Amino acid sequence: MSQNKYMHPRNIYKCPPDFKQLAINFPEFRKHTTQELSGKVSIDFKDPAALRALTTTLLLKDFHLKVDIPLNRLIPTLPLRLNYVLWIEDLILASSLGANSEICGIDIGTGASCIYPLLIAKTKGWHMLATEIDESSVECAKRNVETNSLKHLIEVKKVERETILKEIIDEDKTYDFTMCNPPFFANEQEITEYENRTAVRKTPSNSLTGTVGELVFPGGELAFIKKMVQESLTLRDKIKLFTTMVGHKSNVMLLKKEILDAGAHSVGSYELCQGRTTRWVLAWTFYSEVKTTVDILEISRKSLAKPPFKYLIPEKEGHEYTLESFSVSVKKILNILEMEYTEIKKSKSIVAYAVTAWKDTWSKQRQKRRAMQRKKEEPEAICNGNNEESKASDSQEVSKSGDLSSVECRDRDPCLPSKRPRLESDSSTSEGVSISGNTSSEVEKCENVTVRPLLKASLVIRRSCSEIFLELTWLDGSCGRDTLHQVFQYFKNHLME
């Protein structure tokens, strides 16, 4: 029975890919398909060439990644890999890792495809160190990184079989997380048994790909992970979160006990469900503030509820845009809009600001300019009269509410409700940029009443390969996300001026 409904909520393969459409759009994939009389298009999952065509086609279509996978090496399936990556992302977000610096991870045994680092670097912009023992896989992984112009984010390192983590960590470096899809089997006999299992469990639907060297470790995954746990004890200050995939359910409880006995602060596990395959992942840490379990539905609900407004900055002939030059243009617009901003993150690939608006300066700009013009042209007497009228209505308001500041605030902010709500202590995270707590300027105190800003958002300028994106994420404010969309439109219209 397919377990797709239990896939990670943000996994794009929860809804399986449309093979017919893939065959129409990708001739390389079409070669491996057959069409039944009913019109249904399928592939032979036992054929490694077909499996490879599916994975490389999806990587190209969904992630713009061009990946070479040799037929004689392990061919990764994407739904499972993505489930693992999304779970790590949830833990990183829940633990607020990378809030003040770039996120760096390690993939132990990256394989020829270099699948995890490519997915992570491409979709999250995180730095990855990828290790591998197999010489030819190392070469292929390096080529894949180069082909996709991700050398600035991914380093592929050839290591010795005895090494898991200890020897690869530089003295002066720390990492946010490790991940690993370890060799599962203890010997070749186990591989044969797995391939031929029929009696109790169904034969796996996919063909088992990969060399003996890739799939076998003396003592199997249990021995490999136990070694990793032992090494994590000496690296407890260098790595915040250790994770690994586990292939056999029976090993999950054994390893959890082993990890806690070794002195970890906490250990958590999660079930990766996809197609007919189930795998497990373990996370452990020596830090009290780092999370090893997470409410995935809650995190996904939050992040899906507030996806950022994203704008790919169009290329302009003869112009080489940099993050620096865009930050200048963005700050200029923020000043024009009289928005407060604080730089919260700056790296080679990201500049992020926390922005706050106290009044609407962006909507109906043209009408406002016309009104100003008309006001200038009006005779003084009428103008005076109007002023008297407005003064009268203001004083009425003052006497009703008994609070002068509320009138002032509402005057400059049409969206503020008549009774100002208290601003709850806020902590929001958006795509690796986290803003928590309120600065004194964000909360304006008027006579014991706490005023909520009109809008609070994160503004991220992100470089991914040669493309630059502007991302605006709604965080809080008396006006909703629609207001942020107006600001976003304003940026789109004025950024290239």
Ligand X SMILES: C[S@@+](CC[C@H](N)C(=O)[O-])C[C@H]1O[C@@H](n2cnc3c(N)ncnc32)[C@H](O)[C@@H]1O
Q: Report if residue 48 touches ligand X, rule: CB under 6 A.
A: no
**By CB under 6 A, residue 231 contacts ligand X:** no
At 133 the three-state DSSP class reads coil
Give residues 398-417 in contact with ligand X (rule: CB under 6 A). Answer: none
Task: Output the smallest distance, CB 112 to ligand X, in A.
Answer: 7
Q: How far is the CB of 221 from ligand X (least distance, A)?
A: 9
Structure tokens at 199: 């009696």
Single out the segment in contact with ligand X by CB under 6 A; choices: 147-155, 213-221, 307-315, 396-404: 213-221
What is the SS3 string spanning 350-366? EEEEEEEECCCCCCCHH
Least distance from ligand X to the Cβ atom of residue 105, Å: 13
Q: Which amino acid is at 469?
A: F
Spatial distance between the Cα atoms of 129 and 105, rounded to a whole number of angstroms = 6
| Smallest distance from ligand X to CB 35, Å | 30
Concatenated DSSP letters for 415-438? TS-SSPPP----EEEETTEEEES-
Question: Does 263 belong to an annotated binding site?
Answer: no
According to the annotation, is 181 in a ligand binding site? yes
Ligand-binding site membership of 201 (annotated): no
Whose Cβ is closer to ligand X: residue 75's or residue 299's?
Answer: 75
Calculate the CA dihedral of residues 37, 38, 42, 44 and round it to 10 degrees: -50
Contacts of 383 (CB under 8 A, 6+ apart): 375
Q: Does 76 bind ligand X (CB under 6 A)?
A: yes
Write down the least CB distance from residue 82 to ligand X, Å: 12
| Helix, strand, coil percentages for the chain (3-state, nearest 5) | 40, 20, 40
Q: Site for ligand X (CB under 6 A): which residue of 89, 134, 360, 413?
A: 134
Shortest Å, Cβ 115 to ligand X: 5
According to the binding rule CB under 6 A, does residue 159 interact with ligand X?
yes
Q: Which is nearer to ligand X, 191 or 398 (CB)?
A: 191
Interstrand relation of 175-180 and 239-246 (parallel, antiparallel or unpaired): parallel
Query: CA 355 to CA 479: how far, in whole Å?
Result: 14
Our CB check for ligand X shows the closer of 42 and 163 to be 163
Q: Which of 64, 161, 197, 302 binds ligand X (CB under 6 A)?
A: 161
- CA–CA dist 219, 224 (Å, integer): 7
Residue number, 137 or 232, with CB nearest to ligand X: 137
CB 341 within 8 A of CB 331: yes
Give the number of other Cβ atoms within 10 Å of residue 19's Cβ. 19
Tokens describing residue 176: 């946010």
Question: Which one among 213, 307, 414, 417 touches ligand X, defined by CB under 6 A?
Answer: 213
In the complex, minimum distance from the CB of residue 438 to ligand X, in angstroms, rounded to a whole number: 42
The residue within the footprint of ligand X, chosen from 115, 352, 454, 487 (CB under 6 A), is: 115
Known binding positions for S-adenosyl-L-methionine:
81, 109, 132, 181
Known binding positions:
81, 109, 132, 181
What residue ranges bind ligand X (CB under 6 A)? 74, 76, 108-111, 113, 115-116, 131-134, 137, 159, 161, 163-164, 181, 183, 213-215
